[in-house]
A and B are shown apart, each in its own frame.
Chain A
């Protein structure tokens, strides 16, 4: 089982002085998954990602990424991972090709030109690859940043808000890239604010104030919300509100014996955004315990 895990985190804490950025985070990411980190600004998403790639050392807890300790085996781990930071973090006076080549050279000096060509084509920048970066749009720079993260064909990608500040069309293109990568076996851990993107993940962790509020598939998270069911039967309307309606709905319908007179069923359910916001508000309303 452990060999199927790309990431295992147990009790991770990270303090910046008196600020507790992470308060006992537990999570497991299976190989080949697209795993989403969802949460508001300041929830700890970036701190968690930086802990997993070895750029930040946790104050307590255990981390294993691809079977390696990110702090002690940093050098070896970084041969197998790619990282796309929140800001492009690129050299504006170099071209897209030069940027990708430079970061790729750190991993694979051989066959690099071919890998760079593949990465450029993957992100759809073949026509602008030789232009200096300062002449490219924000969205194009994001594409270059993604190419830098995957040029060396890593086993796992860490993407920190990769679609921040880009248009919906490009966002869709990015997520198509991510799904293609995951289909080829790459494990992806991605942080996002966008609820619709979260639905494309295999699994989600919802973070708030350095803690994991929920860790489940998007579908299971949605079923935690309320379903409001309206039955119209012969002009009479009956309304029900239930959780986990896929299990509850059959029980409700059995009272009617699948009556053919039932001519309409309307189901209204919480969106994922409603569920996440509800979880966050519930946590905020609870008194804080000292950790």
Chain B
């Protein structure tokens, strides 16, 4: 047990060490979403309508950005390890699937934690969103859970790809996730067969809870939707560990 914990910490430390030296990845993860949000602000200002409540949309859009960018960042990570041979070397050195996935998850969660906070702070500032401390903390929790699930989803997708190019066809899945989530079109207005697909999107559960929080509701008002987020994450995590292949 102690050995496994040491190896997870070693994995986490190595990934964090690499992340802090990779300016491009930090820019992609932290700066790029802030730039996108600024352009969303410009767009909303151009479409200015006194009856339009931007606050009901901008926070879920922020959630989508978190969902997309964290998926993008981690989707290529294990593929890159496999193509350069370091994944193989880790296995032969004695790192297990659990330790490799856990190490990546913990390390990238640090990035996701910072990313979610920066996005939420910028949204609050640019769109003059006024939240109580409890409200802000609850919204931040949902964004963080969504980011973590997206990290795991990216790691899971990595397991099915032998090259970075094979990851690209999975990106439209995130766009579909946005469409079926209820963020763009209210869930009730989606066709029945699309509503089935909604339950496969983590953004759907996050949006359901966020819509309640935005109007001042409690975190546990939609407790089933709230509980679905960590459950979804745990299922994806198990799938990611089971599908990480070692043998040729």
What residues of chain A have their CB less than 8 Å away from a CB belonging to chain B? 16, 50, 53-57, 75, 78-79, 81, 83, 85, 87-91, 93-94, 98, 102-103, 105-107, 109, 148
Asked whether B247 lies within 8 Å of A93 as measured between CB atoms, the reply is no
Closest 5 CB pairs of A and B: A89-B85, A106-B94, A105-B10, A106-B93, A109-B6
Chain B residues lying within 8 Å of A91, measured Cβ to Cβ, are: 14, 18, 86
Chain B residues lying within 8 Å of A109, measured Cβ to Cβ, are: 3, 6, 10
Specify which of B7, B18, B84, B86 is in contact with A106 (CB 8 Å cutoff). Answer: B7
What is the distance, in angstroms, from A145's C-beta to the closest C-beta of chain B? Answer: 9
Specify which of B7, B89, B95, B96 is in contact with A85 (CB 8 Å cutoff). Answer: B89
* New A-B contacts (6) at CB < 8 Å, excluding given A78-B93, A91-B86, A106-B7: A75-B96, A83-B93, A94-B14, A94-B18, A105-B6, A106-B10
Which chain A residue lies CB-closest to B91? A55
Asked whether B94 lies within 8 Å of A102 as measured between CB atoms, the reply is no
What is the distance, in angstroms, from A203's C-beta to the closest C-beta of chain B? Answer: 24
| A90–B18 alpha-carbon span in the complex (Å) | 13
Chain B residues lying within 8 Å of A103, measured Cβ to Cβ, are: 89-90, 93
| A93–B14 alpha-carbon span in the complex (Å) | 10
| A284–B94 alpha-carbon span in the complex (Å) | 40
With A50-B248, A55-B92, A94-B17 in contact, do A85 and B85 touch (Cβ < 8 Å)? yes
Asked whether B92 lies within 8 Å of A83 as measured between CB atoms, the reply is yes
Chain B residues lying within 8 Å of A79, measured Cβ to Cβ, are: 94
Chain B residues lying within 8 Å of A93, measured Cβ to Cβ, are: 18, 21-22
The answer, yes or no, to whether B88 is at the interface (CB within 8 Å) is yes
What is the distance, in angstroms, from B92's C-beta to the closest C-beta of chain A? Answer: 5
With A91-B14, A93-B21, A106-B7 in contact, do A56 and B247 touch (Cβ < 8 Å)? yes
The answer, yes or no, to whether B221 is at the interface (CB within 8 Å) is no
Which chain A residue lies CB-closest to B87? A89
Chain B residues lying within 8 Å of A94, measured Cβ to Cβ, are: 14, 17-18
A-contacting residues, B1-41, CB 8 Å: 3, 6-7, 10, 14, 17-18, 21-22
Chain A residues lying within 8 Å of B89, measured Cβ to Cβ, are: 83, 85, 89-90, 103, 148
Which chain B residue lies CB-closest to A14? B248
Which chain B residue lies CB-closest to A83? B92
Asked whether A106 lies within 8 Å of B248 as measured between CB atoms, the reply is no
Contact with A along B221-248 (1 / 0, CB 8 A): 0000000000000000000000000111
Which chain B residue lies CB-closest to A88? B85
With A87-B85, A89-B89 in contact, do A102 and B10 touch (Cβ < 8 Å)? yes
Chain B residues lying within 8 Å of A57, measured Cβ to Cβ, are: 247-248
Chain A residues lying within 8 Å of B96, measured Cβ to Cβ, are: 75
| A87–B3 alpha-carbon span in the complex (Å) | 28
Asked whether A53 lies within 8 Å of B247 as measured between CB atoms, the reply is no
Which chain A residue lies CB-closest to B92? A83
Chain B residues lying within 8 Å of A54, measured Cβ to Cβ, are: 92
Asked whether A78 lies within 8 Å of B94 as measured between CB atoms, the reply is yes
What is the distance, in angstroms, from B4's C-beta to the closest C-beta of chain A? Answer: 10
With A102-B10, A106-B95, A148-B89 in contact, do A56 and B21 touch (Cβ < 8 Å)? no
| A60–B91 alpha-carbon span in the complex (Å) | 23
Specify which of B18, B88, B94 is in contact with A107 (CB 8 Å cutoff). Answer: B94
Asked whether B92 lies within 8 Å of A78 as measured between CB atoms, the reply is yes
Chain B residues lying within 8 Å of A87, measured Cβ to Cβ, are: 84-85
